[in-house]
Structure formats: C-alpha cells, structure tokens
Structure 1
Amino acid sequence: MQSFLGFSGYYRQHIKDFAKISKSLYKLCDQQTVYEMTEERVKAYEELKNSLTNSPFPLIPDWKQPFKLYIDACGEGLADALHQIQIINDKPV
C-alpha cells in the first residue's frame, strides 16, 4: 500500500480531492492499524486508481496566457489546481 500511495502521491496535484480520498488508505500504513481492506478503503483505492488512468495529463504552460487557480479545503485536507485559461476550455498545467 505504501508503494501505491507513494506513486499516486507523486501525481496528487492532478487528482481532485486526493487528500480526502487517500486518508483511509494512509491509515493502513500506520503500524498500530490492523491491515483490513474495508469497503471504504477498497472504494478509495479504486477511485485513486481510476483517477491515475483517467486524469488529464498536465501540459506545458503558455506564459502569455492567463491562469486560473482552483482551491478546495475542508477539515480533512487541502487541494489546489492551476489551470491555463484557453479559448475552448481550461487545461491543467
């Protein structure tokens, strides 16, 4: 689980609500916790796995174009995403 979380954590800035989703999985890495894949943890694992395979790949920013910063925070985590504003749609950078 640590390897998977390390890998997915590398791409955390491209996964919406990463901290909130992965919270139950990080608890498995604690030596005091009994390793039990509950329904919540399986769902979190599948959601992260799907996010890694379906998330848009980051693009090289065009410094001449404006940016938009999205911020999401709650009691369980903090997330942000920097988007390049395009004529057609925003793209993560």
Structure 2
Amino acid sequence: MPPAWINRTSNSESQERIFVRGIALSLIMPSSFALWLRSAEFLGYIVSSEGMCMDPGKIKAVMDWPTPDSCKALQSFLGFANFYQCFIRNFSQLAAPLTALTSTRVTFRWTNAAEVAFSNLKSRFVSAPILIAPDPSRQFVVEIDSSEVGVGAILSQRAPADDKVHPCTFFSHCLSPAERNYDIGN
C-alpha cells in the first residue's frame, strides 16, 4: 500500500496537492468534485455505501405524472420509466399493455388495462429497492422467470452486513410476436 494511503491526513495532503495542480492547469473544475460524501446524486441515481437508489425527486415526478392522453405522452412516460427499469421487477411485463399502445398499427385508446398497468408501474417506483453493488468475490444468486409475454431475471447477492439476499439489478424483456413462437429449447 502506498504511504499516502496509510492515514487520512497524509492522503488528504496528497489529494490537495493533486487538486491544486489540476485546478492550476484547468484540468479540474472545483465545482465538479466533492470528497468524503456519504451519498451523491449521479446521473439520476443516488449512490451511497449502501448501494444505488432512485432520486426521490424523480420518484415524485413519476407519482405526479398525469395519465397520458396521447401516444407521444405515453412514449415520454415509458422513456422516463425505462431509465429506471433496473429497479423494477418484471418491468417489461408490467409495461407491456402500455408498450402495445405505442405501436403504429394500433389506434391510441386508453383502456382499463392501460390504466391498471400505468398505476401499477407508478406504485412500483415508490417501493423500488436499494440496489447493492455487485461484489465479484461473493457468490451471486440468479433468479429467472418467463411467461407468455416476457422473460425476467434478478441478479442478487447475500450482503455480509445482514446475511440477507439483496438485488443488484433486475432484467426483463417483453417478447415480440415472433419470440413468443419459439419453443423452449431455443
């Protein structure tokens, strides 16, 4: 281990010299970094030592989202929701009735099924878990499920802190009509 990493004081002094030099050379913008944060907002996520979660401001935006009244409004909601699909178990299956309404072959008509899917998806955002960072040195748990409309998976690991299995991420895919015809062996 390099001597500068042995204690925080010498580490701080080394970092300070690096940052001062970086600022002097215009390589570092002082407004673009922070040190020793417990959590930080990064690309729409809150990242901390516990893991990654959705930004509460974004969750509020989803909860306040009005019922889409056009295909374009629905596409906007689905685009926003897609960004956070790694937090939602079976996202593609939940969003399937909404995704079907975005097809150019279908006339946009808001139905009860679409309203139920829209409400379910919004409620899943509120209850989304904190995703832990995968640790390659620990064993992974992979759960896979499939149905007539989609496939999904959960990548999890047992956290050493509480010995419980926590999700690292969720995957899902809504099957196309051609994919629905595949047999199990494909």
Shared fold, TM over 0.5: yes
Q: Separation in 2 of the partners of 1:24 and 1:48?
A: 11
Matched with 1:75 is 148
The sequence identity of aligned pairs, in percent, is 27
**3-state SS of 2:96 partner:** helix
1:88 matches 2:163? yes
Q: Separation in 1 of the partners of 2:110 and 2:75?
A: 14
Which of 68, 78, 81 pairs up with 1:5? 78
1:41-52 matched pairs, under 5 angstroms? 41-52=114-125
1:19-58 matched pairs, under 5 angstroms? 19-58=92-131
Runs of 4+ displaced beyond 3 Å: none
Unaligned runs of 5+ in 2: 1-73, 169-186
Query: Greater relative contact order (Cα 8 A, min sep 6): structure 1 or 2?
Result: 1
Unaligned runs of 5+ in 1: none
- Give the total of aligned pairs: 93
**Structure 1 counterpart of 2:148, which letter?**
G
The structure whose Rg is larger is: 2
**3-state SS of 2:143 partner:** strand
Taking only aligned residues, the RMSD between alpha carbons, in angstroms, comes to: 1.6
**3-state SS of 2:82 partner:** helix
After TM superposition, give the deviation of residue 32 of structure 1 in Å.
2.8
**3-state SS of 2:156 partner:** strand
Worse-matched range after superposition: 18-27 or 8-17: 8-17
